[in-house]
Amino acid sequence: MPAGLVALALGGFGIGLTEFVIAGLLPQVGRSLAVSEAAAGWLISGYALTVAVGAIAVTAATAGLPRKPVLTGLVVLFVLGNLVSALAPNYPVMMLGRVVAALCHGSFFGIGSLVARRMVAPERASRAVAVMFAGLTVANVLGVPFGALVGERWGWRATFWAITGIGVVAVLAIAVLVPEWAGKPEAETGTAGALSGQIRAMRSRQVWLTLGATALSYGGMFGAFSYLAYTFTEVTGFSDTDVAWLLVVYGSGLVAGNLVGGRAADRNRDRALIASLTALTATLATFGLLAGSPAASVILTFLLGLFGFAPVPGLITRVTDAAHGLPLAASANVSASNVGNALGAWLGGLAISAGLGYTAPLYVGAAIVLAGLVTMLFAAYGTAGQERQ
């Protein structure tokens, strides 16, 4: 495995920690900064919204620049954001730190995925992307317990100091280990890397179909995941203390799905994407039916993570191939996933508010992913049609 991929995975791990760790610290942060629970929750929502907008805006602003310096600068921005959070004397400054850190998120994974796939042979592109995203999936497993553990022992600011330190190490690792040539793909010559060229590449029907499949697949999974704690406690009968280890089971599924999905996509990408979205739809629907069984819920929680993240490497390589390897599409993929997350969580909440019960988000999620599967089938048919011509 190229050392540069490990450096990118380390950056992804730090950025993933920043996203997830706050969930375990909200009570402490809220009390320390003297804000309500709702205001504290905006430290999560504000981050997600900034990722959705910043992924495209930052990538557009850096269009045409060499990718390695851009990646290094993005991680420096991440370090500064967490440093501001660690030092924040009040809520507005804390929110500023979260926004600054979030600005790097989408572009790092978008541009980083292109650099990662350049470090390996073309037939291993999805696996290379999976290695980079392994940092994010591991952060999902460790983020909340890590934040809670460090926060309880040394205070919530210590958690952000620790993440700042991880960011500094990631900056050095990327600067030393990522080769310069990996940020200069042959396809990006002349004005192709400029913003106008990237916008032209985004006109592709395949780009938009893949972005749609991304938003819907993420939205279905995250819409169900957002209310999973309520399903565990109100339907399955688990206690509040059981939720933590159940979320670790889910996170373990994410790690496995990321690696399995990358390998499968390198064999036959569209077939792997269709299979994983079919399995995710079935998992969500089955979970809704069997949520009352503790044993079935544990197994299905793992499968939700497994099939929920398995499409990610293939979707990223698919959208960037459709856009001729230009970074705006890769970053737009990250934005699409965050838009999908917001949509899924909103629709799941509507279903609960309508009195449909705490299994309703699972069925809503299945319907959303089914729409993503149909979108992916249209995309795959279009690609097959082009190959026949």
Q: How far is CA 200 from CA 52, 207, 213, in A?
A: 21, 11, 21
Distance from chain centroid for Cα 27: 24
Of 57-61, 79-83, 360-364, which gets the smallest average pLDDT? Answer: 57-61
The C-alpha angle 328, 331, 335, rounded to 5 degrees, equals 125
Sequence ranges of the domains in the chain: 3-185, 199-388
Looking at residue 192, its pLDDT comes to 45
Residue 5 has pLDDT above 80, yes or no: yes
d(CA 239, CA 380): 43
Looking at residue 389, its pLDDT comes to 45
The more confidently predicted of residues 26 and 46 is: 46
3-185 and 199-388 share one CATH topology?
Answer: yes
Residue 46 has pLDDT above 90, yes or no: no
Supply 230's token pair.
């309520």
The C-alpha angle 308, 312, 313, rounded to 5 degrees, equals 140
For residue range 218-243, what is the model confidence (pLDDT) as tens digits?
889 988 887 887 888 889 998 877 87
354 backbone dihedrals φ, ψ, rounded to 5°: -80, 0
Handedness of CA 228, 229, 231, 236 (dihedral sign): positive
For residue range 289-326, what is the model confidence (pLDDT) as tens digits?
999 999 999 999 999 999 998 998 899 889 888 887 77
Looking at residue 191, its pLDDT comes to 39
d(CA 365, CA 132): 27
Please provide the average confidence, as pLDDT, over all residues in the chain: 85
199-388: what CATH class?
A: mainly alpha
Looking at residue 247, its pLDDT comes to 80
Looking at residue 198, its pLDDT comes to 63
Task: Name, of 93-97, 117-121, 327-331, the range with top average pLDDT.
Answer: 93-97
Residue 183 has pLDDT above 70, yes or no: no
CATH code for the domain defined by 3-185: 1.20.1250.20
The region that residue 65 occupies, defined by phi over 0 for left and psi between -120 and 50 for alpha, beta otherwise, is beta
The percent of residues above 70 in pLDDT, for the chain, comes to 91
Confidence grade of residue 117 (pLDDT, cut at 50, 70, 90): confident
- Our CA dihedral for 177, 22, 330, 302, rounded to 10 degrees, sits at 100
